[in-house]
Structure 1
Amino acid sequence: MTLDLNLIRARFPALRRPVIYFDNPGGTQIAQPALERMMNYLTLHNANHGGAFASSRESDAVLETAHQAVADWLNAARAEEIVFGANMTTLTLHISRSIARTWQPGETIVVTRLDHDANISPWLLAAQDRGCRVRWVDFHPEDGTLDLDDLARALEEKPRLVAVGYASNALGTINPVRQITEMAHAVGAWVYVDAVQYAAHGPIDVQALGCDFLVCSAYKFFGPHVGVLYGRYEHLEALTAYKVRPAPGTPPGKFETGTQNHEGIAGVLGALEYLEWVGRTFGAAIDGAEVMAYTGRRRVFKQAMLAIRTYEAELSRALLEVLEATPGVTLYGLRDRARLDERVPTVSFTLEGWHPRAVAAALDRAGIYVWDGNFYALAVTERLGLEERGGLVRVGPVHYNTLEEIQRLGEALRHLQREAA
């Protein structure tokens, strides 16, 4: 069954506003079930952790349910492998300190030029603190794909950790994370995956990937501003956590410092309940090998994300066609229609005669929201030679966007191009 956009869009209150949200790579709109979970928590169960009274017990039950829901969504082995925090950046800065305690001076870590800086700078700082060497892996500027030959050369140095993105937040490239993990594990390196940009667009199975850690942010998959970290339990158990003394000594509590954003975590649960609804409503016909290995809610989640991925391939195709047909547009990243499964529908470009910020401002006046700049993917815009020119314009539809909205974007860009002529 294809997605019914009327039903989908009715679940997002923000979409009642007569604008087009193509700013989704920076944060999606929130689903109604997530809002309801947050309101319900704050009005009925608002309490701190571990109290000997009803609302505290109820609050703890919501948080435990949310941990299990995320574990099911990511196919983690157990709920204790899920850690909540403020956002992906904060979680990574926090746990990078714990991981770096296991490194010795002179050892190597690997980062890539395709990544968001939140999966680069924490490791640069940790390496600096521990006297470790940083090895950068390049990407191919012509199509935005990671240079796996360069990665192989980097792995010859037997690094302790490889930090890599699941999908580029600037160019949309989906990296072959399972292959990268196998390559890294073959030389004894841990793999830390930034899945922030990918999480809204396709299924994730941390056990199949084999990665050691994976992070994402709920506000990128239709929830509130909360970060999520998956870590293999043996790693979380063994690592030293930077925490206050009365805090729990076992995962996940040892890494969830202070009083957490309980209502936000309740909202994460609501966002996943929305995705479960998508799976039950539109994913039942998806019954191939990609879902048959799972049961119960884990299967439903995979069906939901595969249904979303199938529809978003149409959006990617339409978006590339519209942008390629617009005079003055230069596209960056994968453009081959036969390789749409290697990208998410996050597409970046420049428009001749226009500064990226001016394009975004002009589109705003047309009721179309897009991002401009480097999006904290500073290494990408520097590698492409665009940082000093204002970076890129980024358009990022998700499954609640329509083909008609993409056509309106094309009309607006053609109007701008005529203005510049």
Structure 2
Amino acid sequence: MFVDQVKIYVKGGDGGRGQVAFRREKYVPNGGPAGGDGGNGGDIIFRVDEGLRTLMDFRYQRHFKAEPGEPGRSKAQHGASADDKIVRVPPGTVIRDAETGELIADLVAHGQEAVIVRGGRGGKGNMRFATPVNPAPAISENGEPGVERWIELELKLLADIGLVGYPSVGKSTMLSVVSAARPKIGAYHFTTIAPNLGVVQVEDGRSFVMADLPGLIEGAHEGVGLGHQFLRHVERTKVIIHVIDMAGSEGRDPYEDYLQINKELVLYNQDLEKRPQIIAANKMDLPDAEEQLEFFKEQIGKDVAIFPISSVTRKGLRELLFAAANLLDKVEEEIANQPEEVPTGPVGRKLYKAEAPEVPFTIRKENEVFVVEGTQIEKLILMTNFNYHDGLMRFSKIMKDMGVEAELRQRGAEEGSTIRIGEMEFEFTENLDYVD
């Protein structure tokens, strides 16, 4: 089965928690804090493997989680960081954030990598919190949670040459004849429901990858028929071979077919209008094909390369493949000679646009509960170890320094009021002694 679009969940590893420990050595009275930091959680990295051709494996595993870091240890020993999790994907994989549609990575070359989500950093041990005022703190941090998100993977095949055309014009037969590929062939529309790839060897030793792409119909750019499932793969091809049933064996007009297919390509992606194209006038072994071809040439003009072929009798295929290889060489040479984009404007200057600062927290009321929300404060909740009194005192001080306490009081919070942050609830009190 060919799979070219999936949605999966990825999560970086959580950081390991910091340790609360003290030196316990003979002849060392009043040993100081010696709790080590936790290790960092693993990242999730996508790596291109040219041996893969589809996203099939992701149909059976849709959740990927990296390992967490190890907790800190005593004697000032840090916990080990977790290894990164490597996820293999085929060349041509486009990765987007499922919620925002933001492009995360476009992976095309073998071995190319991209960090999709980061692991959390390890929490600090109590040796990090020692101060002259509090030389022996019983306080540590939990590890930072790893980043998590839903992402969409979309595969756009990396083929040198793509075969396009209406259903049943002979694209699959042509690919089976000129390469070792064995696509499914049948005398009905949409026999090919997934792209097929084949390596074509030209007589002079050159070779290229050819893709037999599912047939187009009117409205494909809007998703009609196989629509976008087909068109996304055309975007990667360097040369297009437009296969046309020149015999009009299904009662369609070859010239109208030619115009309609090109219209669908341009409506889907304007750049496809400039893609080099060769016309393969197929089924020339059938009656009336020669007459139709002469009329077609009059309609289309002399500027378009037309190669009469018959995939069944193999007539004209040699000339077509040589022309396709020559055109591909020309395109690749032009790509290689393209100058690198040079930034315009004053050298060494970069313009930054000011963005509105993020609101550190918001407070709303649900019945009698005051709900405090904000990325920074919710992260603080997760990383605070409330098993130690010093940890609670530090959390309270940060809340006060951020202005949360004053804002709660202004909103009507009193002694004993319930405060909710994330999934935790507290009683509002002003009788805590803060620890510096």
TM range (shorter): under 0.3
Q: TM-score, normalised by structure 2?
A: 0.21
Q: TM-score, normalised by structure 1?
A: 0.22
Per residue, is there more strand in 1 or in 2? 2
Per residue, is there more helix in 1 or in 2? 1
